[in-house]
Amino acid sequence: MGIALAGDNVATGGLVRRTLDLLYLGAGYAAGVFLVAIFAIMMIMSVGRQFAINIPAGDDFASWCMAAMAFLGLAHTFKRGEMIRVGLLLERLHGRTKQAAEIVALGIATAFILYFTRHALQMMYDSWRFNDVAQGVVALPLWIPQLGFAGGLVILSVALIDEMVSVIGGNRPSYEKGSPDETPDEFIERISQGGGG
């Protein structure tokens, strides 16, 4: 009976891990789609001038895509270790002290992002509740472009909580790329080959 329950917990944990990883990856792909959309809008607007082709509110659509791209890409970038981190103190620590410092740093980051996420969701909800529309040529309900911004922050909040739970459980942070015993020369070599910090 105990073995069956342990097996169920492992299977559930594996399912949750795969689901979260797919969520981060999906958000990263969505950010890529918005990047391509920005490129397409800007090219059509630039080349279209030569042929009297115009996208109504093209600048607005490009800026909304840019916000969605930036925020939807955050969780994937964080989990892959590609987000810029200032680890001057953490890089000098080792063992349990480093783990405790990582937990504190993740806790502070999570608190800030949850605060930011709450206000982003409130802003999106208020836009929906009051039927706010864009002031440009296309009167698009503002909650629609705010979905990418608020959704990206929600996914980043999940990623930070996920990472904090993992580090509390004694695992190495997923955003750390180098080995704990990496020498400064190995670090420079890895960075020069595009391995991230």
Question: CB count, 10 Å around CB of 141?
Answer: 13
Distance CA 172, CA 167 (A): 6
Q: What is the pLDDT of residue 55?
A: 80
Which comes out higher in pLDDT, residue 2 or 44? 44
159 close to 80: Cβ distance less than 8 angstroms? no
Which of 114-118, 177-181, 183-187 comes out lowest in average pLDDT? 177-181
User: Which tens digits make up the pLDDT trace of 84-118?
Assistant: 776 777 778 888 888 899 999 999 999 999 999 99
- Sign of dihedral through CA atoms 14, 19, 22, 27? negative
* pLDDT band (50, 70, 90) for residue 130: very high
DSSP H/E element including 20: helix 2-48
* Residue 9 pLDDT exceeds 60: no
Dihedral of the CA atoms 58, 61, 62, 67 (nearest 10)? 160
* Global pTM exceeds 0.85: no
User: Which tens digits make up the pLDDT trace of 14-44?
Assistant: 899 999 999 999 999 999 999 999 999 999 9
Distance CA 108, CA 70 (A): 21
Q: What is the pLDDT of residue 4?
A: 47
Q: What is the pLDDT of residue 5?
A: 44
Question: CB count, 10 Å around CB of 125?
Answer: 13
Dihedral of the CA atoms 131, 142, 144, 18 (nearest 10)? -110
* Of 93, 73, 81, 87, nearest in space to 25 by CA: 73
Distance CA 24, CA 18 (A): 10
